[in-house]
Amino acid sequence: MPAPLADSGAELVTRASRGDSGAFEALYRQHVGRVYGLCLRMTGQPESAEDLTQDTFVNAWRSLPGYEGRSSFSTWLHRIAVNAVLAKRRSRQGRNEVSMTDEAGEQMEFEVEAAMDEATPIDIERAIAGLPAGARDIVVLHGIYGYSHEEAA
């Protein structure tokens, strides 16, 4: 499960699902940092992350009537964000990405791991951005956002 976010409460979600764009903007303000952070770390590209963040909130707005509250709003929103990133990656012909199981990917991950001891947060961010897509997803989703291994896979 992703790390729980500070949900805005049922009231904003209910109002937004009824078409209140003001309530939805409030939800955006509360959640944009985490959604953008997720998209940025999964893509490694600020511009793509901004586009994907916007896609995530537009998709969430469209899907709100189907949101039944079984999971928290933030968890639900995260799922939309992850799906948006993966869809965009597929559309960009993900075959160009190096999978975690590729030999080159394993080597890169090993080198990154070796450099972690003295790393600053900025170094870690760079290292994560430099990982192959599959490995990066695991580190971002499991390491930063608290997904289980199964969910991250």
Partner 1 sequence: MLAKAAQLPKDVAPSRDLWPGIAARLGEAQGAPAKPAFRWPLALAAALAVASVSALLTWSLLQDSQPAQPAVVADVGTTAGEFVPVSYGPNSGLSAEELAVRDDLAAQFRGAFEDLRPETREAVVKNLAVMQAAADEIDAALAKHPASGMLKGMLFGTYKQEMQLYSTVVTARDGLTRRT
44: tokens are 């490694």
Name residue 54's amino acid: Q
How many residues belong to the chain?
153
Q: Does 11 bind partner 1 (CB under 8 A)?
A: no
Residue 131 phi, psi (nearest 5): -70, 155
Size, binding site for partner 1 by CB under 8 A: 44
Among residues 73, 132, 139, 147, which is the contact residue for partner 1, using CB under 8 A? 139
Q: Does 32 bind partner 1 (CB under 8 A)?
A: yes
Q: Does 87 bind partner 1 (CB under 8 A)?
A: no
Q: How far is the CB of 24 from partner 1 (least distance, A)?
A: 7
Q: How far apart are the first and last CA of the chain?
A: 12
- Reported as half-sphere exposure (CB side, CA atoms, 13 A), residue 6 has a value of 6
Cβ distance to partner 1 smaller for residue 31 or 89: 31
- Picking from 12, 32, 30, the residue whose alpha carbon sits closest to that of residue 21 is 12
Give the binding site for partner 1 (CB under 8 A): 3, 16-19, 21, 24-25, 28-29, 32-34, 36-37, 40-41, 46, 49-50, 53-54, 57-58, 61-62, 64-65, 109, 112-113, 116, 119, 121, 124-125, 127-128, 139-140, 142-145
